[in-house]
Amino acid sequence: MSRVLQTEGGAISVEALHMTMRFGDFTALDDVSINIPAGSFHALLGENGAGKSTLVKCIMGFYHATSGELLVAGHEAFMSDPKVAQSLGLGMVYQHFTLVPSLTAAENLVISRTDTPAVIDWRKERDALDAFMATMPFVVPLDQPVSRLAAGEKQKLEIIKQLYLGNRFLILDEPTSVLTPAEADEVLGHVRALTTAGKITVLMITHKFREVTAFADDVSILRRGRYVGGGSVADLSVAQMSSAMMGEAPVASKRIRETTEKQPLLTLHGVKAQDRTGLKNIEIDSVTLHSGEILGIAGISGNGQMELMEVLTGQRRRDSGEITVNGTPYGATRAEARTHQIRYLPEEPLRNACAPRMSVAENLAFRMFDTGRDGRPSFWKDGRAIARNAAELIGAFQVKTSSPAARIAALSGGNVQRAVLGRELTGDVRALIISNPCFGLDFAAVSAIRDRLIEARNRGTAILLISEDLDEIMELSDRILVMSEGRIAFETPIATADVAEIGRHMAGHS
Amino acid sequence: MEPVEIGLWGVPLAILGGAIRVSTPFIFVSLGECLTERSGRINLGLEGTLVFGAMSGYAIAFETGNPFAGVLAAALAGACFGVLHGWICKFKGVNDIAVGIAMMLLGMGLAFFFGKPYIQPQAPDLPAIALGWWSDIPQVRAALQVNVLFIAGGLLAVAMAWMFRTTRIGLIVRVVGDSTDAARAMGLNPDLVRLLATAAGGALAGVGGAYLSLYYPGSWTEGISSGQGLMAIALVIFARWNPINCFWAALLFGGAGALGPALQSVGISQGYYLFFAAPYVLTLGLLILTSSPDRAMQGAPLELSLTK
């Protein structure tokens, strides 16, 4: 392997030697060594909990490794503090944005510098920023508060921030999880160009093989805290990488789509509502959801999908228009949802569909705790029925929890998602409205959730799937709608769906 | 000088004069709270700080014979209360609102305890600037007797708005108030920033208290504040965490407070007590009018336990 320590463009190398990290009895990282030459694009693959984050946190100085050494540009470095990593030119782009929401992009950039002057001369800073932005491959509006930017723009701004700070070794933590395929290719393409030019070295944490094969030079694969394979991407096949990552090749479940009877169930007519900024509207002219179909709504995040979901769940007031279910007006109250058997799985279920500090069993009982055995409202809580319900769902949906009495907030993301899905799919369900059900989950969890959705569809449930992951939409949907600028911009049945065409409509060009 | 009969003109004039006179403590306390809340913490203890500032300012002014020494002492005492609040809140699991209520009771209790000997003696007043020199009408002159602290408060509001926009310290306070994680990632110490912001906020509230005892009403009594510190905290929300708005909100509140006495002075005494409720009714009405069921509170610092 070539040992370039520093390129002319300024990129620096990083080498981790025999890194071990223990938390009490638990070994999160076990003797892992990786070498990232200057100017290369290195991918770090692994399932959730494989130790990827632990490794990069040790590199960045957030954790102090139990043992092991770190060489930055060939010199030994002691990362006692994140500031040390920064001073050496190491920067990290987190999966969860670290931009300050109410500050503008320009303010975010200037304040993140270590040498921000006590009094900021905004005219001078703006000139300097404009000059800097002219050298950047992407454009981000500088005067908007960050809270108004779309996810893709925030991601670009995070990367720009690292370059603005002069960092020459960037760690990207699943940088594309909130981007559309086109956006992801654009961002990674530019990052790749920066590495080829020798300006930066990149270590990217990812789940996605496509990104590894398309952009990375080398790959390291971790499983359960151990280094289990890697090398030059050119020498490895996707099958080899996935078997190293998962231990064995994943059982690709064959999802059989049965023909189902399609009856109109839920219709939206001229629905208008304010978006979260209060400045724009979302307007849905006419959408009909049929039983036994999965209707996918694709779109770049921030184009009104979140607001549509909130209108459907009753979290957002609609200004005009009507929603009908089986011909009767629907206002998304608990009583109406129960009568019509409509269930929801909003995105970030821990926040939107759970009481985080209540137990798993209690959270699983949200659909049944207030009705007795005869279906009438009950006054007393039936602890035994709640326990029985919890035991059934935990078993059926393979929710990994220490006990039904554990707080649901203590569960991992995938387990919360499975638990809520289980709760929402119990009993007769005529319609299920879901948003980004697989956001941030690992392969096994994604596969299990998608199996459940197809099963429900085959039983005749109508499913409205709002997702920012176009692959997911293409895989599951019977019919696809594209949302752009708060409107339905395009509709196509799956049989004639073309990813490029959908992508164009997502981006607002038709 | 004999009062000149100016009829109903007396009402707006009295309201203006009242606004300037009554609003000053509101300006200082709300600016102090604005700074503290922008850093992501609520200090409900400012009512106690205000009362203690009034007592300590009066006592030191009496002992030294210099009202400005009193103001300085009140600021120092307020900063001490702020530091104590900020230091307690740094511990895990401590709720800033509960600590604030405790600090409020502590401040009032200490002020009453140490203030007993100062209820009788007369301390020197803060000087006022006669901005009404151009007029012959005594009512105009009376209304335009502007205290130096009022002017200082106005300048402070502008300075604070400028600070939030164009200085490193201002941006750091906003970063900490908006995202503790982002602040940590930048290598800032959120607890320290909040401690300092709470201390500075406490100092300002102390100055507001000194104004009460050293200018208007101008003496130290136990009932000197009657909840003005708490109202000022509500004004910050009303002003949407903007220092300039804090100034106007305080002025509006002070003006509405002067409505009752002003009407009484021209002989309208019916429903007299209702007019004393005017500031509260006005604030409530404006809050309802400017709120929206669809939007989250604009401008609220995201780390505030109120908005979380």
From the number of C-beta atoms within 10 Å of its C-beta (0-12, 13-18, 19+), residue B232 rates as buried
pLDDT tens figures, A284-343: 999 999 999 999 998 877 788 888 998 999 888 888 999 999 989 999 898 899 899 999
A470 and A510 fall within a common domain: yes
Whether residue A409 sits in one domain with residue A324:
no
Contact assessment for residue A346 and residue A313, using Cβ atoms and an 8 Å cutoff: yes
- State how far the Cα of A196 lies from the Cα of A211, in Å rounded to an integer: 16
Question: Is the model's pLDDT at B57 over the cut of 60?
Answer: yes
| A105 occurs within a structural domain | yes
Query: B178 vs A94: CB contact, 8 Å cut-off?
Result: no
Instruction: Judge if A55 and A24 occupy the same domain.
Output: yes
Domain containing A207 equals: 14-246
Length of chain B equals 308
The reply to whether A359 falls in a domain is: yes
Among the ranges given (A467-476, B178-187, B299-308), the one the predictor scored with the smallest mean pLDDT: B299-308
Tokens of A446: 């994604």
**Do A310 and A255 share a structural domain?**
yes
Residue A432 has pLDDT above 90, yes or no: yes
The residue that leads in pLDDT, A243 or B73, is B73
pLDDT digits (tens, 9 = 90+) for A8-62: 878 899 999 999 988 877 788 899 999 999 999 999 988 766 888 889 988 988 8
B-chain residues near A99 (CB < 8 A): 182
Question: Which residue has better confidence, B279 or A250?
Answer: B279
Q: Does residue A232 fall inside a structural domain?
A: yes
Of B200, B213, B195, the C-alpha closest to B75 is B200
Average pLDDT, integer, range A104-113? 91
**Average pLDDT of span B222-240:** 88
A123 interface with B at CB cutoff 8 Å = no
- Does A180 reside within a domain? yes
DSSP characters for A288-318? EEETT-EEEEE--TTSSHHHHHHHHHTSS--
DSSP A449-486: HHHHHHHHHHTT-EEEEE-S-HHHHHHH-SEEEEEETT
Q: Do A278 and B171 touch (CB under 8 A)?
A: no
* Domain total in chain A: 3
* Helix, coil or strand: residue A145: strand
C-alpha to C-alpha distance for A93 and A28, rounded to whole angstroms: 22
Q: What is the pLDDT of residue A144?
A: 85
State the Cα–Cα distance between residues B286 and B239, nearest whole angstrom: 10
| Residue A76 distance to chain B (closest CA, Å) | 22
Are residue A298 and residue A258 in the same domain, yes or no?
A: yes
Q: What are phi and psi of A430, to 5 degrees?
A: -95, -30
Q: Is the pLDDT of residue A256 over 90?
A: no
Domain identity same for A336 and A359: no
Average pLDDT value for residue range A368-381: 83
- Closest by Cβ to B171, choosing from A111, A276, A278: A111
> Which of B48, B47, B53, B50 minimizes the C-alpha distance to B73?
B53
Q: Are residues A166 and A286 in the same domain?
A: no
- Percentage above 90 pLDDT, chain B: 54
Is A8 inside a domain boundary? Answer: no
Nearest-neighbour CA in chain A from B300: distance (Å): 9
Of all residues in chain A, what percent carry a pLDDT higher than 90? Answer: 35
Q: Do residues A236 and A254 both lie within one domain?
A: no
Do residues A173 and A27 share a domain?
A: yes
Q: Averaged over A442-446, what is the pLDDT?
A: 76
Mean pLDDT score of chain A, rounded to an integer?
86
Q: Does A207 share its domain with A328? A: no
Cβ of B162 under 8 Å from any chain A Cβ? no
Give the residue ranges of DSSP H helices in A370-436. 383-396, 413-424
Residue A169 lies in a domain: yes
pLDDT of residue A1: 43
Nearest chain A residue to B178 by CA distance is A100
Burial class (CB in 10 A: 0-12, 13-18, 19+), B218: middle
Q: Residue B54 corresponds to which amino acid?
A: A
| pLDDT above 90: residue B137 | no
Contacts of B294 in chain A (CB under 8 A): 274, 278, 316-317
Quick one: tokens of A445? 């969890």
What's the whole-number mean pLDDT along residues A273-285? 81
Residue A448 to residue A74: CA distance in whole angstroms? 45
| Arithmetic mean of pLDDT, A498-506 | 82
Taking 90 as the threshold, does the pLDDT of residue B31 lie above it?
yes
Q: Is the pLDDT of residue A252 over 90?
A: no
Q: Look at residue B294 in the predicted model and tell me its pLDDT.
A: 62
Reduced to 3 DSSP states, what percent helix, strand and coil does chain A have, rounded to the nearest 5? 35, 25, 40
Of the candidates B175, B292, B302, the beta carbon closest to that of A111 is on B175
* Of the candidates A2, A31, A4, A59, the residue with the CA atom closest to the CA atom of residue A203: A59
User: Is A273 part of a structural domain of the chain?
Assistant: yes
The 3 state secondary structure assigned to A183-214 is HHHHHHHHHHHHHHCCCCEEEEEECCHHHHHH
B186 touches chain A (CB under 8 A): yes
Section A196-201 average pLDDT: 89
Is A2 inside a domain boundary? no
What pLDDT band is residue A139 in, cutting at 50, 70 and 90? confident
**CB distance B186–A274 less than 8 Å?**
no
Q: Mean of the pLDDT values across residues A211-230?
A: 90
Q: Is the minimum CB–CB distance between A87 and chain B shorter than 8 Å?
A: no
Q: Does B301 touch chain A (CB under 8 A)?
A: yes
pLDDT in the model for residue B296: 61
Residue with the bigger pLDDT between B165 and A240: it is: B165
Check if A279 contacts B (Cβ < 8 Å): no
Asked if the Cβ–Cβ distance from B186 to A111 is below 8 Å, we say yes
Q: What is the DSSP string of A44-93?
A: EE--TTSSHHHHHHHHHTSS--SEEEEEETTEE---SSHHHHHHTTEEEE
The predicted model gives A119-147 an average pLDDT of: 88
pLDDT score at A221:
92
pLDDT of residue A98: 78
**Distance from C-alpha of B184 to C-alpha of B187, rounded to nearest angstrom:** 5
pLDDT at A414: 77
CATH of the domain at A183: 3.40.50.300
Query: Which residues, 6 or more positions from A383, have their beta carbon under 8 angstroms from its beta carbon?
Result: none
Residue A296 tokens, joined: 């996918």
Are A99 and B182 a contacting pair at CB < 8 A? yes
**Residue that finishes a domain, picked among A209, A229, A246:** A246
Query: What pLDDT, on a 0 to 100 scale, did the predictor assign at position B152?
Result: 95
Contact B293 A110 (CB under 8 A): no
- pLDDT, residue B293, reads 67
Is A251 a residue whose pLDDT tops 60?
no
Q: What is the CATH number of domain B7-290?
A: 1.10.3470
The DSSP result for A29-45, as a single string, is: EEEEEEEE-TT-EEEEE
Residue A243's pLDDT is: 79
Residues 83-102 in B contacting A (C-alpha not used; CB under 8 Å) = none
Q: A39: closest CA among A229, A217, A177, A296?
A: A217
The whole-angstrom separation of Cα B238 and Cα A378 is 43
Per-residue pLDDT at B292 exceeds 80: no
Non-local CB neighbours of A422 within 8 Å, separated by 6+ positions:
A364, A393, A394, A396, A397, A399
pLDDT confidence band for B193 (50 / 70 / 90): very high
User: Chain B closest CA to A31's CA: distance in Å?
Assistant: 27
**How high is the pLDDT of residue B308?**
60
Mutate to test the interface with B, among A102, A124, A316 (most CBs of B within 10 A): A102
pLDDT at A179 over 50: yes
CB contact under 8 A, A100 and B292: no
Q: In the listed set A246, A277, A302, which residue is the last one of a domain according to the structure?
A: A246
Domain co-membership, A241 together with A104:
yes
Stated length of chain A: 510
Cα separation, A386 vs A393, in Å, equals 11
Query: Domain boundary residue among A391, A426, A461?
Result: A426
Mean pLDDT over each residue of chain B, to the nearest integer: 89
Strongest mean pLDDT among A81-90, A199-208, B30-39, B252-261: B30-39
Tell me which chain A residue has its CA closest to the CA of residue B301: A102
Confidence at residue A303, expressed as pLDDT on a 0 to 100 scale: 82
For residue range B100-129, list pLDDT tens digits in order.
Answer: 999 999 999 999 999 999 988 888 888 888
User: What sign results for the dihedral spanned by CA atoms B195, B201, B202, B204?
Assistant: positive
Name A428's Cβ contacts closer than 8 Å, sequence gap at least 6: A341
**Given CB atoms, is B307 within the 8 Å cutoff of chain A?**
no
| pLDDT score recorded for residue B297 | 64
Residues A20 and A142 in one domain: yes
Quick one: pLDDT band at residue A250, thresholds 50, 70, 90?
very low
Does the beta-carbon distance from A86 to B175 stay under 8 Å? Answer: no
Cβ B182–A100 below 8 Å, yes or no?
yes
User: Cβ separation of B186 and A112 shorter than 8 Å?
Assistant: yes
Comparing CB atoms, the residue among B167, B175, B294 nearest residue A100 is B175
As a whole number, mean pLDDT of residues B239-264 equals 89
Reported as a pLDDT band with limits 50, 70 and 90, residue A398 is confident
Residue B88 has pLDDT above 70, yes or no: yes
pLDDT at A185: 84
A111 close contact with B: CB closer than 8 A = yes
Chain A interface includes B189 (CB < 8 A): no
Paired with A218 in beta bridges are: A42, A232
Please report the pLDDT score of residue B177 as a whole number.
93
